[in-house]
Structure 1
Amino acid sequence: MFSRATIMDIMFLLRDINTHATLNTYAFRYGLDKIAVGSNKDERVLAIGRFLLENPQTPGILGDNLTYEIVEDVISKTVSNNYHFDTDNNEFVDYPQLRRLLLKDGFVIEDGILTRTFDTDIDFNTNETLLGKLLDKHNLDVAKGHYNQANNAFNRGDWAACNSQLRSYVEELFNTLAEKITGLSFSDSHSARTALSQCNPPVFYKGLNEWLDNGQGFFETFWKRLHPEGSHPGLSNEDDSIFRLNLVQISTLETLRRYDQNYF
């Protein structure tokens, strides 16, 4: 539900908005008094964060998920405090990445309330973990480097850099997979992508309209969507970048699954 980075920023906010005494009360309220131990607030909130990450299905006191309740509660307390939250820009003052981390997790803050962006079973963080494992398994280090840089650029709000790195990631991934499957070197990335539709078994399925050799198949238009202004990443914004990030993650994860199942 929430990434490690999100949880840790929330824990730091929990530390910042509480004294030692109120943190004791908070931990007791949520049944975490035996978890939140340490000689200072940093150690205690770190212990809570570690527990939440290791026990994501722990029921809360109001609903079925403790992590969600704590994240929601910390955010509601923080956004009402001008010292910690800039209402004009909808940003956490000391943790400017947190709002974008929440967006990747599938949440936005509207009128001071944590709100799901959509009701779905797609889990960005679970998919990202699976993607990272497959990239590591097949020694796709360069592709993984581009993907990580895209994520980092998104977190700091650099949309153009995020989009550019996503395009580089997809190009590197498809080129390398085509070379691994065919044993050939390709003079251009389009030839490599075409090869992924012609290998046996194919990685891009013509029968499912994923590659039609006319620029209209899914992976053909997918590539076009990543660079609507040619090699230049073009102007962008947060909404466009999160769309690209999700589209790239889902599409390349499926591509890697097929390669892993059929060629390894």
Structure 2
Amino acid sequence: MRPTPFSRPTIVAATELLDRHSQAGINRVVIRLGLEAEVSSSSDLSVGKKCALIARAIVLRPDRVLETVDGPMTLGEAVVREAVKLAQPASTDDAHTAFLRGLARDGFVLVPAVGGQNASIRAALPNEIQLPATDDDVHHLLRHFGFITPLGHLDQAIDAHTRGDWAACNAQLRSFLEGLFDDIARLTYPQQAAQLATSDNRRTLLGNEGFLDSGRGEWSIDGKNYVNGLFKMLHTHGSHPGLSNEDHSTFRLHVVLVTAGMYLRRLYRP
């Protein structure tokens, strides 16, 4: 079975939504999640305290497999699906906002309840992309290579997305990708990169030396290639687009994560 398709922030946000349950309701959730050993059913514990214990148990073992009425699934996925039953797409309170943005970052959308049916979720992107795993891989490889500056920009982009600050997220994503290519150039071609003054020059170096694959359209001397096109899109109306929205900011985040993962893995396994 694949790892849970949801990231830690989404799982934590899901457990916070469970706070809307009554004592009886949260106890039923505990049983469905198989967490009786970790979470007492005693009424002496508040619902909020039980939610905190559920969150702790799940973030420690999100990939533990459960047998559910819908078939086997990871504990992380199971708690997200429990939260979906309570989700209200039109709600703007902090708990709902954090949960819906987490789903979006992970490549999922909430489908509102229709005809008495509970709300549900569906993948907005192909399952093969596995965004949470890609994000983890990118963070791991950034630390492996010591790319601390781009790592900081990526973390700030994700934090800005969580807050709903789309312009800041967009700006940090561009800075992250620019810093990533700078650091790759300095690591792979240190002498040449040290003599170059701009990030554009260092990306050209990566293209000329073959790190960027011209045969796949990643680089070309006429500028009509994937990497240049991506930077043009990220730089729409400058680093801080005057009017951005959640959908486009989330799209940028997805594209940048997948792109960064591809080049970091290429660097790791040349």
Give the TM bin, normalised by the shorter chain: 0.7 to 0.9
Is 1:2 the counterpart of 2:6? The answer is yes
Distance 1:231 1:2 in 2: 29
Secondary structure in structure 1 of the residue aligned to 2:85: helix
Which position in structure 2 is the counterpart of 1:84?
none
Which position in structure 2 is the counterpart of 1:28?
31
Which position in structure 2 is the counterpart of 1:123?
130
Which position in structure 2 is the counterpart of 1:76?
85
Which position in structure 2 is the counterpart of 1:99?
100
Is the contact between residue 227 and residue 234 of structure 1 (CA under 8 Å) also seen in structure 2? Answer: no
The amino acid that maps onto 2:108 is: F
* Aligned with residue 40 of structure 1, among 45, 51, 54: 45
Q: Which has the higher contact order (CA 8 A, sep 6+)?
A: 2
Secondary structure in structure 2 of the residue aligned to 1:77: coil
- TM-superposed CA distance for 1:51, in Å, is 3.6
Which position in structure 1 is the counterpart of 2:212?
204
Q: TM-score, normalised by structure 2?
A: 0.83
Structure 2 stretches lacking a partner, 5+ long:
114-118
Which position in structure 2 is the counterpart of 1:83?
none
Is the contact between residue 92 and residue 99 of structure 1 (CA under 8 Å) also seen in structure 2? Answer: no
The amino acid that maps onto 1:3 is: S
* Aligned with residue 247 of structure 2, among 236, 239, 242: 239
Task: Label 1:129 to 1:8 Cα distance change in 2 as closer, same or farther (>3 A).
Answer: same
Instruction: String of CA shifts for 1:133-188, please: whole Å, max 9, x gaps.
Output: 11101111110010111111111111111110011111111112212222232211
Which position in structure 1 is the counterpart of 2:142?
135
Instruction: Identify the range of structure 1 (115-124 vs 142-151) with the bigger mean alpha-carbon deviation.
Output: 115-124
Question: Which aligned pairs between 1:215-230 and structure 2 lie closer than 5 A?
Answer: 215-230=223-238
Task: Label 1:232 to 1:78 Cα distance change in 2 as closer, same or farther (>3 A).
Answer: closer
* Aligned with residue 22 of structure 2, among 18, 22, 38: 18
Task: Label 1:30 to 1:150 Cα distance change in 2 as closer, same or farther (>3 A).
Answer: closer
Is the contact between residue 127 and residue 253 of structure 1 (CA under 8 Å) also seen in structure 2? Answer: yes
Distance 2:263 2:77 in 1: 32
Distance 2:198 2:8 in 1: 38
Aligned residues: 251
Is the contact between residue 60 and residue 67 of structure 1 (CA under 8 Å) also seen in structure 2? Answer: no
Structure 1 stretches lacking a partner, 5+ long:
80-86
State the identity as a percent: 30
Is the contact between residue 127 and residue 249 of structure 1 (CA under 8 Å) also seen in structure 2? Answer: yes
- Tell me the C-alpha RMSD between the 2 structures: 2.3
